[in-house]
Amino acid sequence: MDLSEEKRRLLFSALATLAGLLLFLKLLSRRPSKRIRSPPTVKAWPPLIGGLVRFVRGPVPMIREEYRRLGSVFTVGLVNRRVTFLIGPEVSANFFKAPEAEMSQQEVYQFNVPTFGPGVVFDVDYSVRQEQFRFFTEALRVNKLRSYVDQMVVEAEDYFSKWGESGEVDLKYELEHLIILTASRCLLGREVRDKLFDDVSALFHDLDNGMLPISVIFPYLPIPAHRRRDKARKKLSQIFSDIISSRKLSGRTEDDMLQSFIESKYKDGRPTTEGEITGLLIAALFAGQHTSSITSTWTGAYLLRDQQYLSDAVEEQKLLMKKHGDKIDHDILAEMDTLYRCIKEALRLHPPLIMLLRSSHNDFTVKNREGVEYDIPKGDIIATSPAFANRLPHIYKEPDRYDPDRFAPGREEDKAAGQFSYISFGGGRHGCLGEPFAYLQIKAIWSHLLRNFEFELISPFPETDWNAMVVGVKGNVMVRFKRRKLLID
C-alpha cells in the first residue's frame, strides 16, 4: 500500500469522525430545553367563551384540573383576555413583589368600583390609592386597635347574654350578626350601631349579593343583583353623608374608623370628602366583615368536630385566666397562640377570597419547581388562588386535614417552602391591612365562647359555598349549647 492510499484512508477516517461529531452536535441541539417561550394554554370549547363558562361555573375546580394537567403555570382565555395562573410560592414572587408599575391591581379590580363607589381605592390612580391606604393604616394602629378590642368584648358579652342557659342555634347566623354589630360599632360608628343598624345591615347585604363571579367580567351587566347593589350604594351614601355632616356641625368626635377618615388629610392638605369617606368605609366593612364572619364560623365548626384542638384552646384559656383573671383586652388576646393557630388553619383551608388578580405591564419570566422557565407577556391578567395554593401537598402535610399544630414552633409548614406559601391574606406589596383587626375580632368572640359555654355540633360538618366571589359556609351550622363558667384548676 503506497503512501497516497494511506493518506486517503486517514482523510476518509477523519471526515467520517467529523461527520459523526457534527451529527452528534445536531442531535444534542435538538434535546428539549428547560426554557419554554410561553405557558401552556388551556383549550376550551367553544372558542372565545369556553374559558369564561368554566370560570363562572367555578374558578377553583378549573384551577385544580389544569394544575394537575399542566402544572403551576398555565393560561386561560376569557373572551378577549388572557389570564395566566401562577400557583405556588416558586412562581408567584413576581405577582406579590413587583411594583405597581409592573403588576397593577387597578385594571383588574375595576369590578369593585360600583360597590365601593367613585373616587376611592380602584377608581383612583396609584399615588392617591396609596394615600387612602395610609388612612386605613392610621385607623388600624395599635392604639386604635386597643380601643376597638374593648368595643368587641362589650359587643360579644352583650350579644351572648341574650342566649338562654341551653338551646340550639345556627352558629353561622349568630356569628354573622354579631360581627356586623361589632364592625358597625368599631368601623361605621355609634350612630349606625345604635340607630341605623337594621337599615345599614340590609343595604350591605344587597351590596354583598351584588358581587358575583360574573361581576368580575361584566360589573355593569343589567341583572337584578347589580340593580339592587347600585340602589343600596346610593342609599348608604346618603346615610353616611348625613352622619358626617352632623359630626362636623356638632364638633362631636368618636373613637371609630369613621372619625379617623373624617380627620384624614392628603399630603397636599386636602381633607377627605363625604363621598371618599363613604367609599372607604364600605371597602373596610366589605373586607373585614366577610373575613371575620366566615372564618369565625369555620373555626368553630372545626373545633367542635376535632375535640383535641378544642381541648387545647380551652386549656389555653384556663392558663390565661389564672394569669389575668376574667379580663380580656388587646394584650391578652395577643397571648392566645393556640387560638391563633386554630383560626389561621381555618383560614388556610377556607380563605374567603379564592382568587387574587393583577394586570401585567411588563414581560417577565418565571421558573417552576422543575426548573422550566416560562415567558409571561405584557398585557396578561395574572392570577393566583389562595384557596388552591394553600393546599399544595409539597408544602403542607396532609393538606386537606385541619391541623393547627402545623404552624407550631418546630413545624411551621407555612415557612418551609419560603415566602408566599400561605396567602390567605395575600402578601407582598398588597398584603391585607385588616389582618390584625380580623384576628383580634375572632379571638375576642371565641375566647368569650370558650370561657362561658359548652358546645356540640349537631348538624353535618358544613360544605363550602362556591356561589359567590367571597366564598363562605354553605347551609346552617347547628350547634347545641349549654352555659357554663370555665373553672380554673
**β-pair type (373-376, 463-465):** unpaired
Please, what is the average pLDDT of the chain? 87
Look at residue 29 in the predicted model and tell me its pLDDT: 45
d(CA 263, CA 256): 11
- Above 90 in pLDDT, residue 195? no
Largest CA distance in the chain: 120
Band the pLDDT of 13: cuts 50, 70, 90: low
Phi and psi (nearest 5°) for 74?
-160, 160
Band the pLDDT of 336: cuts 50, 70, 90: very high
Look at residue 207 in the predicted model and tell me its pLDDT: 87
Averaged over 250-261, what is the pLDDT? Answer: 90
Q: For residue 225, which of 235, 213, 236, 237 has the smallest C-alpha distance?
A: 213
Band the pLDDT of 27: cuts 50, 70, 90: very low
Long-range contacts formed by 220-226: CB under 8 A, 24+ apart: 220/114, 226/114
Look at residue 59 in the predicted model and tell me its pLDDT: 76
Return the C-alpha cell found at 301: 365548626
- Above 80 in pLDDT, residue 210? yes
The fraction of the chain above a pLDDT of 90, given in percent, is 58
Q: Is 186 annotated as a binding residue?
A: no
Q: Which residues contact 29 (CB under 8 A, 6 or more apart)?
A: none
d(CA 129, CA 124): 6
Return the C-alpha cell found at 82: 388572557
CA angle centred on 451, ends 167 and 351, rounded to 5°? 85
Look at residue 212 in the predicted model and tell me its pLDDT: 79
Cis bond upstream, residue 224 (ω within 30): no
d(CA 408, CA 411): 6
320, 381 in Cβ contact below 8 A?
Answer: no
Report pTM.
Answer: 0.87
Q: Which tens digit of pLDDT belongs to each residue from 28-58?
A: 444 444 666 788 787 665 555 545 556 656 6
- Above 50 in pLDDT, residue 174? yes
- Above 70 in pLDDT, residue 10? no
